[in-house]
Structures are given as C-alpha cells and as structure tokens.
Amino acid sequence: MAQPVAQPIRKGARTRQRILERAAPVFNQRGYAGASMSALVEATGLEKGGIYNHFGSKDALALEAFDYAVSLVVRSFADAQRGSDGAVARLVAIIDAFGRSATRPLVPGGCPVMNTAIESADTHPALAERAYRAMLSWHRLIGSIVKAGKQSGELDPRTDAYDLATIVTATLEGALMLSNLMADPSHMERAMAHLTRHVESLRRQPTRRTRQKEPR
C-alpha cells in the first residue's frame, strides 16, 4: 500500500497533461461542437483509445481542457500583479496582461472564457457553468483590488467595484474579439488606453470634483 517513493509523476499523469495542453487549443479554436475526436487524435498524437483511457468522454476532456486554458490566463494575471503596488497599478497590470493576449495569445483562438460563453450559452450547460465561474472569479479579483484600494485611500471611495469589473472585462473581451475579427491589434490598444485612463481617473482626488456615479 505504501505509495512508491520519489516517483512524483507517473507516466500516465504526464500523458494526461499532454493531452490537455494539446486539446485546449483545438477546443478554443473550433469550439466544442466543431472539435471532432479525430481532430483531437491528430493534435495529441495518440489514438482514440489512448485518449479515452484518460478521459471518459469528449465532454469530460472538454471541461478539463477549458479549466486548463483558464488556468493559463489566471496565472498570467497573477504574474502581472506580482511586481505592482497599489490598486491602480495592479488593475493596469491586469489590463496589460489581458491586452497582450491579442498579439501573443496564451491559448490560440482567443479568450477561452468568452469563446465558451458564446458557444455554450444555449447548448452546453456544464461548459457554460465553467465559463460563468471563471468570469465570476475575475470580477471578484477586480472587486478585491478595488476594495483594497478604497481601504488604503488610493481610490475614490465612491468607486463602484461592480461597475469597474463590468467595464474592464466587457471592454477587454469585446476588444479582443474586434482585434481578432478585424485582424487589427489597434482595437485592443485603444481599449487598453481607454481603460487605463478610466482606472487612473478613479484615484482619490484632493479636489472636490467628482468622477464616477455623480450624485444627481
């Protein structure tokens, strides 16, 4: 029963990971319905039986491949924030990190969360749920940064965390779609500039001029 000592990664686990790494771009580019098992066979280099040994179904593989793809994006967010101090700097770092994916995608085929959200909304509840959770965690990430920024006094206390999360994610996802659709990264650049300006406008001002949600 004693587990083998010092053989940290079994061979099967490495194969499994390799399948995920190679399947994720296929799902991200072709979508769930458009990604055939034979395409996955080609991408992974394994035979169909080999894939089914690790994943019980195309469905299960798609869910894990999605999680894997999201984990790459999340990690890039974490890496981006590492060297940044302050709410504005961290938000800008996230905006930059996402914006870079327009020219250097982490997973080919665009943002996996948006792609999955678009395709699976009316067809695949399990995938749609995963996309929902991923997006929710991003909003919470932004929300926690805003909250910390307000507490530290960096951000205007009237700043609405929900507002900002919506504006940032919506604009970035939309701009990524535009850049890919029109094969022109300047859309993403404009969106990044716009968001950066917007985020910086949220700083607490010594003057009495309001910025956001001005009271009527």
Give the footprint of its own copies on this chain (CB under 8 A): 29-31, 33-34, 108-110, 114-115, 117-119, 121-123, 128, 131-132, 135-136, 162-163, 166-167, 169-175, 177-178, 180-182, 186-187, 190-191, 194
Min CB(96)–its own copies separation in Å = 16
Q: Which of 60, 78 has the CB closer to DNA?
A: 60
Among 13, 121, 136, 182, binds DNA (CB under 7 A): 13
Size of the site for DNA (CB under 7 A): 23
Q: What is the 3-state secondary structure (H, E, C) of the chain?
A: CCCCCCCCCCHHHHHHHHHHHHHHHHHHHHHHHHCCHHHHHHHHCCCHHHHHHHCCCHHHHHHHHHHHHHHHHHHHHHHHHHCCCCHHHHHHHHHHHHHHCCCCCCCCCCCHHHHHHHHHCCCCHHHHHHHHHHHHHHHHHHHHHHHHHHHHCCECCCCCHHHHHHHHHHHHHHHHHHHHHCCCCHHHHHHHHHHHHHHHCCECCCCCCCCCCCCC
Q: Which of 82, 104 has the CB closer to its own copies?
A: 104
Q: Which stretch binds DNA (CB under 7 A): 40-48, 173-181, 184-192, 207-215?
A: 40-48
Q: What does 135 bind: its own copies, DNA, none (CB cut-off 5 to 8 Å by kind)?
A: its own copies
Min CB(52)–its own copies separation in Å = 12
Alpha carbons 33 and 162: distance in angstroms, whole number = 33
Among 2, 8, 38, 208, binds DNA (CB under 7 A): 38
Q: Which of 1, 183 has the CB closer to DNA?
A: 1
Q: Which of 6, 183 has the CB closer to its own copies?
A: 183
In the chain the first and final C-alpha atoms are separated, in Å, by 70
Min CB(83)–its own copies separation in Å = 23
Our finding on whether 50 is near DNA (CB under 7 A) is: yes
